[in-house]
Chains A and B, each alone.
Chain A
Amino acid sequence: MTVQPPARQRVVIRSAEVGPRRAGPPGPAFDEHSEYRDVLLHSLIRAQFGLTLGFIALTVGALISLPLVVSLLPWLARKHVFGLPFSLAVLGVAVYPVLVLIGLAYTRLAERTERHFLDLVDKL
């Protein structure tokens, strides 16, 4: 599945390449570089929060526009989609796979953000 991220990736400061997952036990690197620690941590939090905001905007845009559209175009509610009334087809069926896809895409990108962060820590 290739979902294009709407997200920013500010964590990547020096390198855009995705390294392999860290193998072996976690090193003490993060604690040793404690002068960088807070800066690094805040960049991670900002990146993750940006990702979260982006996905909330996506969800909200997809779902919240619907009541508005229908109240502007009331005839839409009387249409049928695949034999089901419009409301049932959209709110009863189609919405659930969309929610799962959004969730999957977010999980992928959130884990990627964390991998970038680990690479960065490794390089220090």
Chain B
Amino acid sequence: MALVAVIVVTLITMVVGALGVRVARTPDDFLVAARAVPPLRNAAAISGEYLSAASFLGVAGLLLKDGLGMLWYPVGYAAGYLMLLLLVAAPLRRFGAYTIPDFAEGRLGAPRLRQVATIFVLVIGWFYLLPQLKGAGLTLEVLLGTPYWVGVAVLAVVVTSNIAAGGMKGVTFVQSVQYWIKLMAIATPAIVLIVITGGLHRQSLTTAAPPFFATTTTVKVQTSVAFVIEQPVTVQARGSVDGAKVDGPVTLTVGTHRVESGAELVFPAGSATPHAEGLRAQSGSSWVSPLVNAGHKSGHPLAATYSLIVATFLGTLGLPHILVRFYTNRNGRAARRTTVIVLGLLGVFYLFPAAFAVLARLRDPGLYVTGQTDSVVLVLPHALITNVWGEILGALVAAGAFAAFLSTSSGLLVSVAGAMAHDLLRGGVRTFRRCALLAGFIGLLAGLQVQRFDLNLLVGWCFAIAASTFCPLLVLGIWWRSLTWVGAIAGLVLGGVSSSAAIIMTMLGVGSSGWPSVLLGQPAIWTVPLAFVAMIVGSRLTPAQMPADLESKLLQLHLPEALRPVAPVAD
């Protein structure tokens, strides 16, 4: 049933996308659309594109794994729109830039800056594709038992061929429907599960020792896993355990045990839940702490929390696929209003993922054993409701998850392929199609490599790079008259390279504890100030490079609509 739901969502998206082929291909088409798009629909479209695999699956997974401190991720994803509203929404719309490279060149007047900005659009866009592909791989793995690469390949092929064929681009209506699908797909099971299980408030959540199995629980191992036993326990096992084929009772002694894919373990009621290698078994009081890394002994929770706040609050306004959507607002005032509605729509959505994490920890902690915490939203309805309604709710979340991957990865691929075709190669529609194919292929290859990283970790890194590059470019470009293209390039390069390097080092396993793990794993706290300082110092050293028509640029950014010519100022 879940498979049917996924196929239906995919087909609907492709058909509507195909029908919309001729709808929108250029910025002017967006403008035409803008006259007819009311703010609520536009806001739903922005939210629909924004709520990705990380929001739909990843937030609940990360909460389950690391505790309520990870609520800072969704809070930051939403608060990012408040920062966008305060700092860039209206001026950026008034400026009439269609992409970030457009803004960079339009405001500071240097083709070289445009190219540097384009490179970071590609870096951020590709990086953001990875969690979407990982989410698809994981979803099909959980639903159908296919290997990880199958889901990655399916999503990459569907989205790439769809975009190369010309669909999806700028179809505001599809994206806005995707928001409501996603909201329904996460809210319905969350509410049903809360009602059925009798609510979320349990003292055991805040006081108890690490999680245990409340009832006799069967854990199915889909991907081979090693987990750590802290109290000896006798389980009914079937499959390959510690290298031996077994079918019957097995006593797992204290230490690490390896279980191959396909095995089933039945844990007795009341036994402590073993944790997959790499997960930390947290007591209740540590799990409910509102700090990031609260369960890590040397995780420096306060610094990690603030660094995550910097990345997510400031990263949103630098995401390349979001700015395009603001172009469909009628004017600067509408851009502000749309942003406030987005804030509300995201807030409603983010009420629900936490319910899955809390219920899974209390009722079905088996995911700690397999380590596949990112799949909690997908598996919990089946696990807690064993009749046909569990199947139906499971199908609903699967459809919502695929809607999330499809909409976000389509938006990203359009941005990436558009940046390659439009900004680097200066080609037309045919170039765009070839670039879409190439970009999708590169994404596919990279997506196969990221199976072991949490969805939100990947997305959080993406935000860190965006916050360290485009955030200072947009904020200073809008509010600081003395910015020059030389300073902008200095900041983009320094912020972008330092944050990317820190993240790549973390991915390679450098600095896994203490301060290095915080400063490299959550680099925004130092790379964002670094980028700002580089832009300011670089601009101060090159005052002669300020654009000659600075005043008219500022006018274009800040003049209210009533004083403008009827059509928005185009460059």
Contact = CB atoms under 8 A, between A and B. Distances in A.
Interface of A: 21-22, 26, 29-30, 37-38, 41, 44-45, 48-49, 52, 55-56, 59, 63-64, 66-68, 70-71, 74, 77-78, 80, 83-88, 90-93, 95-97, 99-100, 102-104, 106-107, 110-111, 114, 117-118, 121
A56 B563 contact: no
Nearest to B294: A77
Given A41-B551, A85-B205, A110 B288 contact: no
B86 interface: yes
Contact of B558 (A21, A29, A45): A45
A83 B309 CA distance: 27
Given A22-B562, A49-B479, A91-B290, A111 B206 contact: no
B144 interface: no
B560 A118 contact: yes
B289 interface: yes
Contacts of B551: 37-38, 41
B31 to A, nearest CB: 19
A76 to B, nearest CB: 9
Contact of A64 (B83, B86, B309): B309
Contact of A41 (B344, B346, B559): B559
B347 interface: yes
A56 to B, nearest CB: 6
Contacts of A97: 347
Q: Which 10 A-B pairs have the closest CB atoms?
A: A96-B347, A83-B201, A91-B71, A87-B290, A87-B68, A103-B340, A114-B560, A67-B305, A85-B288, A92-B354
B85 interface: yes
A83 B200 CA distance: 8
B302 A56 contact: no
A77 B290 contact: yes
Contacts of A70: 289-291
Contacts of B199: 83
B435 interface: no
Nearest to A121: B563
A77 B289 contact: yes
Contacts of A86: 288, 290
A80 B562 CA distance: 51
A88 B87 CA distance: 29
B306 interface: yes
Contact of A88 (B200, B340, B348): B200
Given A48-B558, A78-B206, A26 B78 contact: no
A44 B337 CA distance: 20
B562 A118 contact: yes
Given A52-B479, A59-B82, 9 more contacts: A41-B555, A59-B86, A63-B75, A67-B291, A71-B302, A77-B289, A83-B199, A87-B69, A88-B68
A100 B340 contact: yes
Contacts of A100: 340, 343-344, 347
Given A30-B559, A93-B351, A97-B347, A107 B205 contact: no
A37 B558 CA distance: 12
Contacts, number: 149
A7 to B, nearest CB: 12
B207 A78 contact: yes
Contacts of A96: 78, 343-344, 346-348, 350-351
B275 interface: no
Interface of chain B: mostly helix, strand, loop or mixed? helix
A110 B206 CA distance: 43
Which of A84, A91, A97, A106 has the largest count of B CB atoms less than 10 A from its CB? A91
Contacts of A37: 551, 555
Contacts of A44: 558-559
Contacts of B564: 26
A102 B551 CA distance: 31
B45 interface: no
Given A67-B302, A70-B290, A99-B79, A41 B86 contact: no
Given A45-B554, A87-B69, A111-B333, A67 B306 contact: yes
B205 A56 contact: no
Which of A38, A55, A103 has the largest count of B CB atoms less than 10 A from its CB? A103
A29 B340 CA distance: 32
Which of B75, B90, B302, B560 has the largest count of A CB atoms less than 10 A from its CB? B560
Nearest to A66: B290
A71 B348 CA distance: 28
Interface in B326-359: 333, 336-337, 339-340, 343-344, 346-348, 350-351, 354, 358
B560 A117 contact: yes
Contacts of B71: 87-88, 91-92
A68 B306 CA distance: 10
Nearest to B352: A92
Contacts of A121: 563
B563 A26 contact: yes
Interface string B553-571: 0110011101111000000
Contacts of B555: 37, 41
Contact of A45 (B85, B350, B479): B479
A49 B351 CA distance: 32
A92 B309 CA distance: 15
B354 A99 contact: no
Nearest to B90: A110
Given A41-B554, A118-B560, A107 B78 contact: no
Nearest to A103: B340
A74 B289 contact: yes
B368 interface: no
Given A71-B302, A78-B207, A78-B285, A84 B343 contact: no
B301 interface: yes
